[in-house]
């Protein structure tokens, strides 16, 4: 019996859900990503350059707030502050753990030039597209800022027999316990950050798959 389960060998798409549990998350911000989206929506009702610039600023704030809310939910907000993670670094981390899907990542990357240039006159149509992408990002991921799935059971068929994959995450200690049939693994962020991220990726991909 091996005491190591390689997350690279796990394909979430071949499993079905066997139930999950979660803990509520209370993000400690006075304003939410949705607040800034609403501000941007109001700004876009105006026709002047000033309104367009204000809308872009609120779109940026919405995405920044959402990223920080998601990082708080997985207990990595303080790491991002200590490490002074940039916008691309936050986005990369959230993509690596499966919260930001490749499609949404490609949409955000397509407007990186607009978001990262402070003193460039913004094009109105580009800002409207950025608002649509920020809205898509918000509605795709906001549930992860409210509930952290700390335990999930998955099932599959192997050689005609049912096989269970159970994943349990402690977000405070940053440890993940996994069992797959007779195999069991314990993964900690401190000792193996790459595998920790890969197991979170499997957990979030399963949530996207089964809602």
| Per-residue model confidence (pLDDT) at position 113 | 72
User: β-strand 161-170 against 147-158: which pairing, if any?
Assistant: antiparallel
For residue 211, give the DSSP letter: -
**Packing angle between helix 49-73 and helix 124-141, nearest 10 degrees?**
20
pTM exceeding 0.85: yes
Which residues touch 161 (CB under 8 Å, ≥6 apart)?
none
Q: Give the count of beta carbons closer than 10 Å to the beta carbon of residue 36.
A: 22
- pLDDT tens digits along 97-115: 999 988 888 888 777 777 7
- The CATH number assigned to the domain with range 33-145 reads 1.20.120
Residue given tokens 């402070």 in the structure block: 118
- pLDDT tens digits along 40-62: 999 999 999 999 999 999 999 99
User: Would you state the structure tokens that stand for residue 132, as one six-digit string?
Assistant: 């649509």
DSSP secondary structure letters along 166-186 = EEEEETTTTEEEEEETTEEEE
Looking at the chain, the domain(s) classified CATH 1.20.120 span 33-145
């Amino acid at each position: 019996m091996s005491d190591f389960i390689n997350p690279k060998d796990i394909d979430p798409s071949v499993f079905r859900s066997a139930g999950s549990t979660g803990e509520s998350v209370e993000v400690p911000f006075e304003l939410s990503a949705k607040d800034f989206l609403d501000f941007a929506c109001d700004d876009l009702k105006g026709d002047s350059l000033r309104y367009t610039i204000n809308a872009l600023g609120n779109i940026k704030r919405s995405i920044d707030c959402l990223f920080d809310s998601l990082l708080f939910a997985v207990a990595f907000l303080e790491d991002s502050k200590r490490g002074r993670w940039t916008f691309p670094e936050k986005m990369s981390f959230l993509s690596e753990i499966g919260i930001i899907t490749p499609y949404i990542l490609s949409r955000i990357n397509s407007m990186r030039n607009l978001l990262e240039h402070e003193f460039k006159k913004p094009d109105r149509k580009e800002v409207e597209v950025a608002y649509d992408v920020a809205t898509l990002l918000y509605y795709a991921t906001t549930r992860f800022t409210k509930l952290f799935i700390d335990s999930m059971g998955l099932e599959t068929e192997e050689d005609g027999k049912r096989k269970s994959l159970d994943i349990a995450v402690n977000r405070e200690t940053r440890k993940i316990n996994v069992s797959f049939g007779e195999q069991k693994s314990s993964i900690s962020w401190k000792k193996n950050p790459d595998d920790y991220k890969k197991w979170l990726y499997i957990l979030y991909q399963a949530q996207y798959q089964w809602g």
